[in-house]
Each structure stands twice: as structure tokens, then as C-alpha cells.
Structure 1
């Protein structure tokens, strides 16, 4: 691929963003935002889909496909060596954030089910 201004700009922005996320507190704050966003989305999706009762099955199917796909991507990798604390063995910040969003979403769905008593 040619080294155009746009390619250079995107590469510089991604490199700076990756450098910004090397700070553990920033990384943790982004993951925590993902978890809280998942809790909010789970509550919003269940109340919105429950209004008409036509979208319940479709929303449940989409959420199951999302959670299973994220689980397969995050946990389905071949782990031949023991996990170490090196940077190469850690997940990327994007995958960690999406996984936290999935965990918050599932947690919120359990809370909504307990609220309804089912």
C-alpha cells in the first residue's frame, strides 16, 4: 500500500492511542467504562424490547450471538504456554473492553430477570 498522507495520519493516531493506553490506570478506566456501559445497555435493551413484546425473541437472539462471538474470540484462542505478565500475552485493550461490555450486559440481563421474578 502506498504511504499517503491519510495512511500516515491513521498510523500516527493509532500509535499515539496505543501509547496512551499503556498507562494501567487509563486502561482500567476504559475497561470499567465498558462494564458500566454493558450494564446500561442490558437494562435499556430489555426495557425497550419488552415494550411491544414483538422484539423479545429477536433481541435475545442478537444478544446470544454477540455474547457467544465475543466469548469465542476472547477465550477460544489456543493457550499453549502458561499465562505470563508480558505484554504479548495480554489481550488488547479493545478486546478487554468488549469483553467487559459483554460481562456487564449478561449481568444486567440476570438482574432484569430477577426483577421480573422469572
Structure 2
């Protein structure tokens, strides 16, 4: 790539973001936010899927497949130096989503 002003600006922004995310408190807060977003997403998806009624099995199969692929991506890597941030965020989203689905199941069972 050519060394343009826009390219330099994007590189500088990415470097600053990378440094910003290396702070442990910011990293943990971002993981908590994605966990809560996964919880919200599970509530929203189960509500929408419950309204349809005819696609429950298909949607639940797709969601289970997505959770298994996420687990595969997260746990296939051995405990290397440090996990990438996007992989940790994806796992946090999956954990929040799974927790939300369990809470919805308890609400429906009672």
C-alpha cells in the first residue's frame, strides 16, 4: 500500500486503540459489556423466535451450532501467550447468550 495520509491516520488510530485495550480494566469492562450484550441478545432472539412458533427447531439448531463453533474457536487454541481480544469477546458473548437462554428456560418452566 502507498503511504498516504489516510493510511497513516488509520494506522495511528489502530495503534492507539490497541494500546487502549491493553489496559486490564478496560479489557475487563469490554468483556463485561459483551457478556451483558449476549444476555440481551438471547432474550431478544428467544422472544422473536417464540412469536413465530413454526421455526423454533431450526432457530435453536442454528444457535446451538453457532455456540459450538464459538467454543471450538476459543478452546482449540492451546493456552498460548495471550489470547486475541476478539476471541475473548466472542467467548464472553457466548457465555452471556447461554446464560440468558437458561434464564429464559427457567422463566418458561415456572
Q: Report TM bin, short chain.
A: 0.7 to 0.9
CA apart distance, 1:29: 0.4
Q: More helix by proportion, 1 or 2? A: 2
Q: Number of matched residues?
A: 110
1:39 to 2:39 alignment = yes
The answer for the alignment partner of 2:102 in structure 1 is: 110
TM-score (norm 1): 0.82
Cα distance change, pair 5–55 in 1 and its aligned pair in 2 (3 A): farther
Which structure 1 residue ranges, 5 or more long, are not aligned?
Answer: none
Which structure 2 residue ranges, 5 or more long, are not aligned?
Answer: none
Q: How large is the RMSD of aligned CA atoms in angstroms?
A: 1.9
Question: Distance in 1 between the 2:3 and 2:34 partners?
Answer: 34
For 1:1-118, list aligned pairs within 5 A.
Answer: 1-77=1-77, 79=78, 83=79, 89-117=81-109
Question: Distance in 1 between the 2:57 and 2:4 partners?
Answer: 47
